[in-house]
Amino acid sequence: MTAGKTAQRLALMFGVMQCITGAQGQVPANIETGLRKIGPIVDPACTAMLYRSLMPAEDITSDKTPLYKALTVKRDQSFGPHPKDVVDIFYADKGPASRPVLIFVPGGAGDKIESQAKEANAFYDNIGRWATKNGMVSVNMQRHASLTWDGGARDVSKMIQWLQTNIKSYHGNPERMYIWAHSAGNLPLGTYIGHPELYGPSGVGVRGVIFMSPAPFNIAPLNPVTIGGDDPRSIVKDAGKTCSAGSIFAVDGALPGRGPGQPGGPPEAAAPPGLPPSPIDPAILLAQSSLPELRRTKVKIMLANAELDPSADINVNGGAMPYNQVLHDELCKEGAEHCPAMFIAKGHSHMSIVFSLDTPDNTVGSAILRWLRTVP
């Protein structure tokens, strides 16, 4: 075997130990300037305005059929009893009969279509288009709020079990599924991956998981610094100021004809504020922790965040969020096969790290593809 082939084989074998840098391509200079002006906060509306011109002119609000060339989109496929137990499925009209499947679990309130501003309606169809162009079937999950610690994880389980049974009808291979969560979507996904009692009869159902810019799911007894620190509201209080888009809670992009609580519609009326939640017993936190299963799972893990993510510091650990760094270091103690890949998206923010998919800015997409190729 030549030295070059040996190096390539070793890179594949130990890829989970490497820090993936996203060296292919770069954030367009004008967009990076805009992102740095927005700063290290969560600002979907203003970020959407930076990327919207790089997207197709038509979005989900259009009645054009088909909406995207050579691509079929099946909207609101139901996987459970709740009105928001639905997924959008994207697949190219031409290609193999059986293709890898990439599931996306969105952040925020769980909307598979962002609605803070009209420009945000382009997202997250961008992830569906990007995945199909790279030979995959894409599944965008809609989430709804749960009052229990594992309710969202049970919804992830229902969705995965539904896909295991039905994804062949959309040219997907149920034996090669991968799942990717962003921001608050990491709470249900991290809980699901960490609790085998929630899996269906066929097991965990995915080969790889991407925890991106994660809201902190339970990894007790570890207690790393999390997004927003002691004041989670600090990450959204200045949202909308650089583009006059209004607050993070604006719904200017709510889809026509959708009622409160429906996918893409305005939110349901908020309950009046009650008493602050009581501290959770440390023993209960430890019993509910995902860490024991993460230490032994065979699911490959990528931990990713943006340079401009809240809590990230480019001068510390190369810009890794403290939560990601602590979890990475803990899992690496279990050996190379358990050591997660790490990806820091230079020049990106909390929202641009997902809004940039399917644009000329391929810094994030190229890194994800390189990692997926290392997952057996």
Q: What percent of the chain has pLDDT over 90?
A: 80
Mean pLDDT, range 129-135, rounded to an integer: 98
Q: Residue 346: inside a domain, yes or no? A: yes
Any bridge partners for residue 91, and if so which?
Answer: 72
Note the pLDDT of residue 228: 73
Note the pLDDT of residue 21: 42
Mean pLDDT, range 241-249, rounded to an integer: 87
Largest pairwise CA distance in the chain: 68
Quote the mean pLDDT of the chain.
90
Question: Cα–Cα distance between 325 and 163 in angstroms, integer?
Answer: 32
Q: Residue 3: inside a domain, yes or no? A: no
Phi then psi for residue 164, to 5 deg, are -55, -35
- Other Cβ atoms closer than 10 A to 169: 11
Note the pLDDT of residue 22: 39
Radius of gyration of the chain (CA): 20
Mean pLDDT, range 139-152, rounded to an integer: 95
Any bridge partners for residue 343, and if so which?
Answer: 20, 304
Of the pLDDT bands very low, low, confident and very high (cuts 50, 70, 90), residue 25 is low
Q: Residue 324: inside a domain, yes or no? A: yes
3-state secondary structure of 368: helix
Q: Name the residue among 147, 226, 156 with its Cα closest to residue 190.
A: 156
Q: Residue 213: inside a domain, yes or no? A: yes
Number of domains present in the structure of the chain: 1
Asked whether the predicted pLDDT for residue 13 surpasses 60, the reply is: no
Asked whether the predicted pLDDT for residue 7 surpasses 70, the reply is: no
Of the pLDDT bands very low, low, confident and very high (cuts 50, 70, 90), residue 3 is very low
Read off the CATH number of the domain in which 219 is found: 3.40.50.1820
Of the pLDDT bands very low, low, confident and very high (cuts 50, 70, 90), residue 278 is low
Asked whether the predicted pLDDT for residue 79 surpasses 70, the reply is: yes
Whole-structure pTM over 0.75, yes or no? Answer: yes
Q: Residue 276: inside a domain, yes or no? A: no
Question: Cα–Cα distance between 302 and 320 in angstroms, integer?
Answer: 12
Note the pLDDT of residue 277: 62
Note the pLDDT of residue 330: 98
Of the pLDDT bands very low, low, confident and very high (cuts 50, 70, 90), residue 2 is very low
pLDDT digits (tens, 9 = 90+) for 40-52: 999 999 999 999 9
DSSP state of 203: B
- In this structure, of 133-142, 212-221, 245-254, 366-375, the range with the lowest mean pLDDT score is 245-254
Q: Which residues contact 67 (CB under 8 A, 6 or more apart)?
A: 58, 59, 60, 73
Q: Which amino acid is at 289?
A: S
Note the pLDDT of residue 276: 58
Say whether the peptide bond before residue 322 is cis (omega within 30 degrees of 0). no
Domain range for 303: 19-57+67-266+282-372
Q: Residue 277: inside a domain, yes or no? A: no
Contact 254, 266 (CB under 8 A): yes
Asked whether the predicted pLDDT for residue 78 surpasses 70, the reply is: yes
Mean pLDDT, range 352-374, rounded to an integer: 97
Q: What percent of the chain has pLDDT over 70?
A: 90
pLDDT digits (tens, 9 = 90+) for 287-325: 999 999 999 999 999 999 999 999 999 999 999 999 999
Q: Residue 255: inside a domain, yes or no? A: yes
- In this structure, of 79-88, 91-100, 153-162, 249-258, the range with the lowest mean pLDDT score is 249-258
CA 24 to chain centre: 21
Of the pLDDT bands very low, low, confident and very high (cuts 50, 70, 90), residue 249 is confident
Question: Cα–Cα distance between 61 and 328 in angstroms, integer?
Answer: 40
Between 75 and 266, whose confidence is greater?
Answer: 75
Helix residue ranges per DSSP H, 174-290: 186-193, 282-287
Note the pLDDT of residue 272: 57
Question: Cα–Cα distance between 344 and 212 in angstroms, integer?
Answer: 10
Any bridge partners for residue 178, and if so which?
Answer: 102, 208
Mean pLDDT, range 254-278, rounded to an integer: 76
Mean pLDDT, range 176-204, rounded to an integer: 98
Q: Write down the residue that tokens 């203003």 correspond to.
A: 46
Q: Residue 48: inside a domain, yes or no? A: yes
Mean pLDDT, range 331-345, rounded to an integer: 97
Of the pLDDT bands very low, low, confident and very high (cuts 50, 70, 90), residue 359 is very high
Question: Cα–Cα distance between 323 and 43 in angstroms, integer?
Answer: 21
Asked whether the predicted pLDDT for residue 240 surpasses 90, the reply is: yes
Helices 186-193 and 151-166, interaxial angle, to 10°?
A: 70
Of the pLDDT bands very low, low, confident and very high (cuts 50, 70, 90), residue 5 is very low
